Each structure stands twice: as structure tokens, then as C-alpha cells.
Chains A and B, each alone.
Chain A
Amino acid sequence: MDPLTFVAAVAAVAVASGVLGAIFGLGGGIFLVPALTLYFGVNIRYAIGASLLAIIATSCGASAAFVRAHVANVRVGMFLELAAVLGALSGTVIAAFISARWLFIIFGLLMLYSIYPMVLRRAAPAAASGPADPLAVRLGLSGSYRERASESAVDYTVRRVRGGAAIMYGSGVISGLLGIGGGIFNVLAMVLTMGLPLKVGTATSSFMIGVIGAASAGVYFSRGLIHPLLAAPVVLGILAGARVGALIALRLPATTLRWLFLPVLAYIGTSMLLRGLP
């Protein structure tokens, strides 16, 4: 393929991945890596490297807004980043020692797993209530945010800090291994385990994903696995796509079209899995 055509085609696929990622609330990487590897024949390690950069870019834009609106909890984010960045570095080491085939298998399984919380999306997890973790009190992690609809401040306390940090470590491993943001696991750690409100958990996750991605990207970049001719169209395409996707998501009848996309997710996940199986 002519190099310029290749770059243009990659940009187009990245736009589509960004749109889908924003509609699903999964981030663009989960569609981008399969598209690049299965349909363009790009080596999965380069695909992961490019995806990491795209994650940083989307996180910068989204979290700037969340932080400005005081929805993201910066203290919780900074604290958990420590565990997640450690995880990301571990993930890059694991990635270097396992074969590409295993990367496909793990990616496929994770994609299939991500369908599950989407099916349950309507039943938004209720923030667990209860006494604050003494460690959270000592670190001053509790916070409050303003509900836009009611204009009232919602106070919350933070629980099970150690458990949350352990899950964030795992989320970092996945980021370093597969080049995706791991937002589902971040929300699992912060909302279901630590009891942050869903809004705060999602915003703080987006805030952290940039740093987690930067940790993995640092390793991939210095290994020469972030290729400029792949990364540039991927980053710009996903940024543009995510913007369009967010607009579409606002207008979508919340559940109907999402349900239509579930088979797509299942199909891509299975394809990735099969690609890794002998």
C-alpha cells in the first residue's frame, strides 16, 4: 500500500474507533487495536504502542474538563496513580516476555468481559455507603461535588483504600499489557470498592488514565514500539472520533443502539481470541 494511503486509511479507522469508543463509553483503544491488527495486519505491539498515545490524548481533553468542573477527585487520583503506574510498568514487562499470540487471547477475553457491565448499565452501581477508611481520613481523600441538575453539593467519604489500590494495580497491568485505558477496572475500584459516586469515579478514572498511559508509553517509546506514522493518524483520528461520538451518544436513545452494538463487540472479541488460539 502506498504509505500516504496507509496513513489516511489508519486515520479513518481511528475516527471510527473513537466514535464507537465514545458511544460505548469504553475508550477508543478497545476498537482500534483489533482494527489495526486484524484488518491492517499491523503487528500488535505497534498497535498497542499507538493506542497508548491515543489514550493519553483523550484523557488530557476529557479530564481537563472534569477537573475544571471539580468533579474528578485529584487527591484520590494522585494516590491511586502510584499503584496504577506500578502496575503499568509490570504490564510492560509481562508484555515483553509473552508471545503476541497471548496478547491476542487476553485482549479477546477482556473485550468479551467488557460486555457484561454494559448489559447491566441501567442498574448503575450504587455508591457503597459506610464509615470512611481511617487511611482515607488521614490522607484527606473525601470530597464533594455539585450535582448539575439539583445544584446541591453531594458529600462522600472514601472506603477500602487498600482494596481500591490493589484493583488499580491490576488495571495498570492491563494498560501496560494491552494498551487500553482500563476504565472499567478503574470504576470498579473507585465506585464499587471505595464507594465514590459513579460520576466522580468516572471523572477521576479519566484523570488518571493519562498518567497510567504515559507510564506504559514511556516504556514502549524507548523500545521503539511507538511508530510516528502509525501514532499520528491514530491520535488525531481518535480525538476527532471521540468528539463526534460524544455528540452522538447524547442524542442516542440510551439503550437501543447500544444493544445493537453489543454483537459487534462480541464478534470482535471472539475474532481476537481466535487469532491467538493455535
Chain B
Amino acid sequence: MNARPGFGIDALLSRILHYGGLVSAAVLLIGLLLLIPSRGVDRATIEQLRAPSVTDAAPLPTVALINGALHGQAVAVILVGMLLLMLTPVARVIAAGIYYARRRDRPFATIAILVVTLLIVGVLMGRLGVARSPSRTSRAAPELRLTL
């Protein structure tokens, strides 16, 4: 067998990636299919994508989102699928971190913690406007129009 240290981690990480990708794709597909009968998609939502200047959206209304998804609202279901997809790589970093911490592999446990911290910093950057151009944040930001 192979002598590479920490080989047992491969099965764990591969499972997380495989099922994470699969489940989020399935949720996205359900959301897309729900669009067909709903027909309620706002024309303005599509037009917004073509606007010459983008509008920074207000933070997502989490409660409305979960509520909408539970009621089978297409856009809300899609958003849940998107979140699951984005969380899959994060989950695999966290799993690796726990694995290394248990093995007292200090450098790699630290690396995992740092990577997760940076991922959180990224979300905060977007929310707090660090990664927004000054001209765009000063403008009143209309909400992303979701038919929630």
C-alpha cells in the first residue's frame, strides 16, 4: 500500500465533495423545475442582469428565504442550492482541519483554521463594502428583486 502519511483523509474528503456537489445540484434542479409552473418570474429580474451598471443588493432576507424554500418557491429553493454548493468546499476544509487536529498535526490544523477564517472574511468584505467600489456603495442600492 501507499506510504503517504494521512492517507485515511482521502476517503473522508472525497465523500464530502461527492455528496455535497450531488445534493446541491439536485436542489438547484428542483428549483429550476419549479420555475416552470410558477411562471411568476419577474421580467425586471432578467432585465436587471443586462443593466450596464450593477447594483449591490441588500443582504439576503434569511428568514424569508427559508420560508420561501419550504413553500416551494422556485427562487428561494435555488438560493438554498447555491448556499449548499458554496458551503461544500468549506465543509471539506473544516473536516480536514478536524482530522489534522486529531492527529496533532499542528501546522495543517492551523492552515485549515486560517483558510476558513479567510472564507468568512470574504463574506464580511462583501457585506461591509470592502470589496465594493466607493462610487457604487454611495448610491442607494436597490434590492435584488426576488419573487419571494
Contacts of A61 in B (CB 8 A): 17-18, 21
Of A59, A63, A139, A229, which one neighbours B46 at CB under 8 angstroms?
Answer: A229
Closest to B48 in A: A227
Please, which residue of chain B has its CB at the minimum distance from the CB of A143? B4
Please pick, from B10, B15, B24, B133, the residue contacting A97 in the complex, using a CB distance under 8 A: B133
A64 to B21, CA, bound (A): 9
Inter-subunit contact A60/B144 (CB<8 Å): no
Bound CA–CA A41/B51 (angstroms): 9
- The size bracket of the interface on B is 35 or more
A218 pairs with B126, CB closer than 8 A: yes
For A6, give the chain B residue with the smallest CB separation.
B46
State which of B11, B13, B25 has its C-beta within 8 Å of the C-beta of A57. B25
Query: In the complex where A78-B108, A218-B123, A228-B78 touch, is A46 in contact with B10 (Cβ < 8 A)?
Result: no
- B47-60 vs A, Cβ < 8 Å mask (1 yes, 0 no): 01111111111110
A37-62 CB contact bits vs B (8 Å, 1 = yes)? 00011110110000001001101110
- Chain B, Cβ-Cβ closest to A80: B111
A186 interface contact, C-beta 8 A: no
- Mostly, the A contact residues are helix
- Cβ of B78: which chain A residues have Cβ within 8 Å of it? 228-229, 231-232
Question: How far is the CB of B85 from the nearest CB of chain A, in Å?
Answer: 6
Tell me if A224 and B58 are in contact (CB < 8 A): yes
Interface assignment of A262: CB less than 8 Å from any CB of chain B: no
B18–A60 touching, CB < 8 Å: yes
Q: How many residues of A contact B (CB 8 A)?
A: 73
The answer to whether A227 touches B89, judged by C-beta atoms less than 8 angstroms apart, is no
Question: Bound complex: CA of A8 vs CA of B46, how far in Å?
Answer: 12
Interface centre among A227, A231, A239 (most CB of B within 10 A): A227
Q: When A219-B125, A221-B82 are in contact, do A227 and B144 touch as well, CB less than 8 Å?
A: yes
How far is A51 from B2 in the complex, measured between Cα atoms in Å? Answer: 37
- In the complex, the answer to whether B28 meets A232 with C-beta atoms within 8 Å is yes
With A92-B131, A214-B119, A215-B119 already in contact, the answer to whether A42 and B50 are too (CB < 8 A) is yes
Contacts of B82 in A (CB 8 A): 53, 221, 226, 228, 231-232
Contact A232 B39 (CB under 8 A): no
B122 nearest CB neighbor, chain A only: A218
Q: A6-B46, A42-B50, A67-B13 are in contact. Are A60 and B130 (CB under 8 A)?
A: no
Check if B46 sits within 8 Å of A210, measured CB to CB: no
Query: B114: CB under 8 A from chain A?
Result: yes
B4's nearest neighbour on chain A, judged by CB, is A143
**Shortest distance between the CB of B36 and any CB in chain A (Å):** 7
Q: Is A222 an interface residue (CB 8 A)?
A: yes
Partner of B86, one of A56, A63, A95, A236: A56
Residue of B nearest to A229 (CB): B45
> Do residues B36 and A146 form an inter-chain contact, with CB atoms below 8 A?
no
**Cβ of A217: which chain B residues have Cβ within 8 Å of it?**
86
* Contacts A70-B2, A210-B88, A231-B82; A3 near B41 (Cβ below 8 A): yes
Residues of chain A within 8 A (CB-CB) of B86 are 53, 56, 214, 217-218, 221
Interfacial chain A residues near B131, Cβ < 8 Å: 89, 92-93, 95-96, 219, 223
List the 10 closest pairs (A to B, CB-CB), nearest first.
A224-B57, A222-B126, A60-B21, A64-B18, A3-B41, A64-B17, A68-B14, A210-B89, A218-B122, A228-B78
Other than A153-B2, A214-B88, give 12 A-B pairs with Cβ distance below 8 A. A2-B43, A4-B35, A56-B89, A70-B4, A214-B89, A215-B119, A222-B59, A222-B126, A224-B56, A224-B57, A226-B82, A232-B28
Binding site for B on A (CB under 8 A): 1-4, 6-7, 11, 40-43, 45-46, 53, 56-57, 59-61, 63-65, 67-68, 70, 74-75, 78-79, 81-82, 85-86, 88-89, 92-93, 95-97, 139-140, 143-146, 153, 210-211, 213-233, 235-236, 239
A to B CB contacts below 8 Å, 7 in the list: A82-B114, A89-B118, A139-B107, A211-B92, A214-B88, A216-B122, A232-B81
